[in-house]
A = this chain, B = another copy of it.
Amino acid sequence: VDKLRYNIIDKKLKIIITPKEGKLDPSQLTFDEGKPPFDLILMLDAANIEQLGEMYDQNTELFFNLPTINIDHHASNEYFGKINLVDLTATSTCEILVALFESFGEKTIDETIATCLLTGIITDTGSFQNSNTTPKSLSIAAQLIGLGAHQQEIIQHVFKTKPLSMLKLWGKALTDIQRDAKHSLVWTTLNHKDFEEANATKEDTTGLINDLLSSAPDTNIVLLLSEKEPRMIHGSIRTREGIDAAKIAGLFGGGGHTGAAGFVLQDKDIKEAEKFVLKQIRTYQEREIKGGKVE
């Protein structure tokens, strides 16, 4: 090769090779992939590598070839990194990061970083209302506000902004709330028309069961059935007093945690779903009560 030039025209890279003699034979060209332009993979708040979802599926090789650091606070963490910084007593991964960033030097945490870290702590503790709230999480929050975190901005965006469509949809759900004291059950339903009338999206039910329905007193099971698409029913369950929400969701092919679980029912309208689900839950509760688990 005598000379190599290149230019870029219309976003196309044109490589001009002038051979010393003869002609360039396209069949002699080979392509090697260069090293990936990354040095390290840093994973935050993931209990296992599969939780990365598409990012992992589409780049599996990267995860084999690069060193990985795994920073997390979940009890279910699988220590899948080359380096694992897992603190099960932390309320959030952001709480762990505060100490890490401090070790980088005194001025590492500026206003913007403090705001981001505080956001993680506030969302993971439900604004210091969840049972995971520790003295440490409160002290670190104090420290971050001291470092200039924009606390009011976080609160405004995370908790105090609800589109009108969401408020209207919540209104519909609350108006129709029902109770079955015998089975310690409170429930409500949203049909597809409710979503249309409120001009609401599927996501507008987010928070409804946690923020409001779960505050109904003297009840151990709270249920929200919502027909997000026609004849496609999403069920959300919250439980108290040692009742396993995941077990109840399991009756309908769903799953989750002890206190919070969910399921999807295909090909039923909201009335059919309500009748079916209530019947099963009542039977479940009666069996549990007879079994002496619940008084």
Contacts and interface: CB of A to CB of B under 8 A. Distances in A.
Given A167-B177, A167-B216, A215-B159, A146 B135 contact: yes
Interface string A109-133: 0000000000000000001110101
A60 interface: no
Given A127-B128, A138-B138, A171 B175 contact: yes
Nearest to A129: B155
A186 B172 contact: no
Contact of A175 (B128, B160, B168, B217): B168
Contacts of A177: 164, 167-168, 171
Q: Is the interface of A mostly helix, strand, loop or mixed?
A: helix
A176 interface: yes
Given A138-B141, A170-B212, A171-B172, 11 more contacts: A128-B141, A137-B142, A138-B145, A139-B142, A159-B215, A162-B217, A163-B217, A164-B179, A167-B177, A170-B171, A170-B174
27 contacts: A127-B128, A127-B129, A128-B141, A133-B145, A135-B142, A135-B146, A137-B142, A138-B139, A138-B141, A139-B139, A139-B142, A160-B214, A162-B212, A162-B217, A163-B216, A163-B217, A164-B177, A164-B186, A164-B216, A167-B177, A167-B212, A168-B174, A168-B177, A170-B171, A171-B177, A172-B175, A174-B174
